[in-house]
Structure 1
Amino acid sequence: GLYYYSERFEAGLAVRNLSEPTVDLDAISLQLKRAFFFNAGGHFDLGGSLSLHPALLIRSDLAQTQTDVAAIFRYNDNIFGGASFRGYNSDNIDAVAFIAGFRLNENITLAYAYDLTLSTLNQVSNGSHEVMINYNLNQRLGTGRPPKVIYNPRTL
């Protein structure tokens, strides 16, 4: 996939199962379908200690497309809350989710989310609860010294 990141904007594009592989499990053979993913998000300072973080995720197998739209508000980069909507088109909204959380310290963030099903699945599901614990290593990927190269004399 591809990924772009800046201080105020990020976007990505990825393909899963690009070659549409076949997986054989005993007597069952499954062909995994290709799926495309696009994501984008932003960071907007709203004044004071408040910021808005909108996000978009589009998933498609070219037969059906699902879209997630979200907005998270952050206060002082420590407390956050927001909502997201997921659906297949304007006539088929699948779910709405609410999230709230806080940063406990420099490394640990705690959050809770509730996903309310709006589709016909709500006849058998009252939604789902999710508790998240995020541990930040405070280490950016790609920084630091690269590992030493191990030369193989057979390939020289």
Structure 2
Amino acid sequence: MIRIGFIIGLLLWCTTTQAQQRPHYSQYLQNMSVLNPAVTGLNKGMDLRLGVRSQWQGLKDAPKTGYVTFSTPISFGGDMANYRSSDLGVSEPVTKDDMYDYTASMPHHAFGVLFLNDKTGPLNRVTGNLTYAYHLAVGERANLSIGVGLGASRLGLNSSALLFEEEGDPTVGGGGEINKYLPDLNAGIYFYGPTFYVGASMQQIIKNSVAFDGNFNVGKEVAHYFVTVGNQFWINNNFSVTPSVMLKVVNPLPKAFDLNLKFSYNNKLWIGGGYRKDDAFFGTFGFSVANIVVLGYTYDYTTSNLNTVSTGSHELTLRVLL
């Protein structure tokens, strides 16, 4: 008989096998590239970001996610060959006065990488992507980028953690780690300026089978669609408020959304919160040091039926601009 902890985890996975298969992120605003490859190379210089998320604390075998992204604009070919990478991309306005001085980046290429590790009980997905984006200037104060991420995932099942009534159940083989390697393809588009952004992306374009046994073909990946919109409003020269929303479409689930509100001082210190439909309320805060190192933390208060066994979720992000 399968142990109770794994039943909960397996039910969560089986539910998401036909629905939500990608991790939740409460701090996606701090690392939009986990959702949209078109954000690759948006900022000046090299951009390194790391994040960890512990979902549903108190629930045995609950999801744990870690990720690393790196991107940089690249100057090569034609007129771009005469520019340094640090001349390309944009810098976020720190004050309202900076907003008026904001100019669009010159058209440029950008490359990056993404590594993601997502573990739920005995199931573990490791994904590696190479990302590319091209940023085109639209007028003097806006850019439009189109991006793609291509790589592979290793979906692993630790069958030794499973206990069956019949030893050596053929559904998962004879025990030990069972791995399945899958291609991964994502794409997106992003329109942005000094105070606004609008993005759309699609993940898991290739709908791979996720069955671990050739005779068991029920599980299959489904496409995930994301739409993100946000705008920063300056209260005075130093303080701003940024409302934003993310719409998520994963058939056959109902459409889901995140609502966010962020209050910021000079884009160096911020506090905010949000609501994820039928899942959680969350609060977040963060700060930057010399506009080079940025730290952020979010706590989710679970509002679904899991709140009877979970004390919430924690997420921590680190960003380093080189």
CA gap 1:107/1:47 in 2 versus in 1, 3 angstroms: same
Aligned to 2:235: 46
The CA deviation at 1:37 is 1.0
Give the distance between the partners of 1:136 and 1:72, measured in 2 at CA: 21
The Cα of 1:62 is off from its aligned counterpart by 3.6
1:100, distance to aligned residue in structure 2 (A): 0.9
Of 115-124 and 102-111, the range deviating more from structure 2: 102-111
Q: Which residue of 2 aligns with 1:107?
A: 292
* Worse-matched range after superposition: 57-66 or 75-84: 57-66
One-letter identity of the residue aligned with 1:57: M
196, 205, 208: which one pairs with 1:9? 196
| Structure 1 stretches of 4+ moved >3 Å | 23-30
CA distance in 2, matches of 1:124, 1:72: 29
Which one scores higher on RCO, CA 8 angstroms, separation ≥ 6?
2
Give 1:135's aligned residue: 320
Greater CA drift, 50-59 or 26-35: 26-35
1:2 aligned partner, one-letter code: I
CA 1:102–1:34 in 2, change beyond 3 Å: closer, same or farther?
A: same
Q: Please state whether the residue corresponding to 2:290 is helix, strand or coil.
A: coil
Higher helix share: 2
**Comparing 25-34 with 67-76, which one deviates more in the overlay?**
25-34
Higher mean alpha-carbon deviation, 23-32 vs 74-83, is at 23-32
**TM-score, normalization by structure 1:** 0.76
CA distance in 1, matches of 2:232, 2:321: 19
Conserved in 1, the CA contact under 8 Å of 2:222 and 2:251? no
Matched residues in 2 for 1:122 and 1:68: separation?
A: 19
Q: Deviations over 1:48-84 (max 9, x none)?
A: 3101121111111242211001011101221100001
Instruction: Supply the distance in 1 between the matched residues of 2:261 and 2:310 (Cα, whole angstroms).
Output: 24
Helix, strand or coil for the counterpart of 1:112?
strand
Question: How far apart, CA to CA, are the structure 1 residues paired with 2:307 and 2:260?
Answer: 21
- 1:95 counterpart (280, 301, 304): 280
Which ranges of structure 2 fall in alignment gaps of 5 or more residues? Answer: 1-187
Structure 2 letter corresponding to 1:56: V
Q: Percent identity?
A: 28
Structure 1 residues 7-156: aligned runs within 5 Å: 7-23=194-210, 25-27=212-214, 29=217, 30-63=219-252, 64-87=254-277, 93-137=278-322
Separation in 2 of the partners of 1:62 and 1:46?
A: 40
Deviation at 1:129?
2.1
Structure with greater proportional strand content: 1
> TM-score, normalized by length of structure 2?
0.39
With over 3 angstroms needed to count, the CA separation of the structure-2 counterparts of 1:62 and 1:130, relative to structure 1, is closer
- Cα displacement (A) at 1:24: 5.1
SS in structure 2 opposite 1:122?
helix
Unaligned runs of 5+ residues in structure 1 are: 88-92, 138-156
